[in-house]
Amino acid sequence: MESALTITEPTKDDLIAALSWQVEAGADEALWDEPSFAHAVTMRLSDVINPESKDTAPIKQPVSAAPAMPAQGEESAPQPASEAPAPATSLAQIQTLEALKQAMADFDKCDLKRTASHLVFSDGNPAAKIMVIGEAPGRDEDRVGLPFVGKAGQMLDHMLASIGLSRDDVYITNILPWRPPGNRTPTSEEIAMMRPFVARHIQLISPDVIFAVGGTSAKSLLQVSDGIMKLRGKRFDLSLPSDNDGPEARYPLLPSLHPAYLLRAPHHKALAFKDLLALRQLARTTRAS
């Protein structure tokens, strides 16, 4: 799939928001290399913002693309994915995002669907090089049906703006498409059940880089138990089987801090900014293989 990283021309407000975010993240001088930021690089951040107011560790972690799709007419009692009966339709046969969204909407084995108002599938640009994967919709996302539209979403927008990107430059989804009631942490069963759908989603988007925000996303994609503070700052490779017995595709993956965590722990924005710079660099230099 053709993919493109478009650096949009920022407005003055975008620049001030991005600079503000970087000041909070610990940057004290702007050194951009894009001409579009030329007017910003000449300023010291402290001139425009009121102060008041890689190392590489590739790990091959296959994600099973074996689908846990329901058979037609099957009763909808919840079952662990590992005990789900043989699928009537393989997820690997799904060739479009629309069909994947429909398959998820038709999937009745995950209890979260019963309490959610909307299936939250994705937002952003399906042709983007960068795929951002969060945890699960919150209250605002559940209401609107789009990922990252609440406060965490605003923080994500600031994070992207800090490296000159907007929502149109990335594709955004979550590990789970339905809000866990009361925003509780998703169970390992819920995550395992929906993981084949996430794997197919990645295959269909075929991003050059995956930005996994938060421990749930990173741990679930990489199938590791390490915490996000241990995972972030490293580059991983996620391997997924090809559709037609070809070689596995490897997707570079950068774990980072969740925007909602940064709202609670703003002193860690500096770490997130390092990850964002690594993301920008990787998106410029990498092609999924």
* Chain contacts with ligand URA (rule: CB under 6 A): 134-138, 141, 147-148, 152, 174, 214, 260
* CB of 223 vs ligand URA, minimal distance in Å: 19
* CB of 137 vs ligand URA, minimal distance in Å: 5
* CB of 21 vs ligand URA, minimal distance in Å: 18
Q: Which is nearer to ligand URA, 21 or 37 (CB)?
A: 21
Residue the block writes with tokens 């075929």? 206
* CB of 32 vs ligand URA, minimal distance in Å: 28
Q: Which is nearer to ligand URA, 34 or 140 (CB)?
A: 140
What φ, ψ does residue 150 adopt, rounded to 5°? -90, -150
CB 171 within 8 A of CB 131: yes
Smallest Cα–Cα separation from 273: which of 28, 4, 69, 64?
A: 28
Strand arrangement, sheet containing 55-62: 55-62, 234-240, 249-256, 209-213, 130-134, 170-174, 123-124
* CB of 169 vs ligand URA, minimal distance in Å: 18
Q: Which is nearer to ligand URA, 67 or 137 (CB)?
A: 137
CB 202 within 8 A of CB 87: no
> Which residues have CB under 8 Å from 36's CB, separation 6+?
7, 9, 10, 164
* CB of 105 vs ligand URA, minimal distance in Å: 17
Q: Which is nearer to ligand URA, 57 or 263 (CB)?
A: 263
Q: Which is nearer to ligand URA, 149 or 288 (CB)?
A: 149
Q: Which is nearer to ligand URA, 25 or 152 (CB)?
A: 152
Distance CA 177, CA 194 (A): 8
* CB of 50 vs ligand URA, minimal distance in Å: 29
Angle between helices 12-24 and 269-285 (to 10 degrees): 120
- Which residue number places its CB atom closest to ligand URA? 134
At position 70, the amino acid (one-letter code) is P
Distance CA 226, CA 223 (A): 9
Q: Which is nearer to ligand URA, 163 or 257 (CB)?
A: 257
At position 41, the amino acid (one-letter code) is V
CB 160 within 8 A of CB 259: no
Tell me the β-bridge partners of 171: 124, 131
Distance CA 57, CA 251 (A): 13
Distance CA 220, CA 136 (A): 12
Q: Which is nearer to ligand URA, 138 or 164 (CB)?
A: 138
* CB of 138 vs ligand URA, minimal distance in Å: 4
Distance CA 262, CA 152 (A): 9
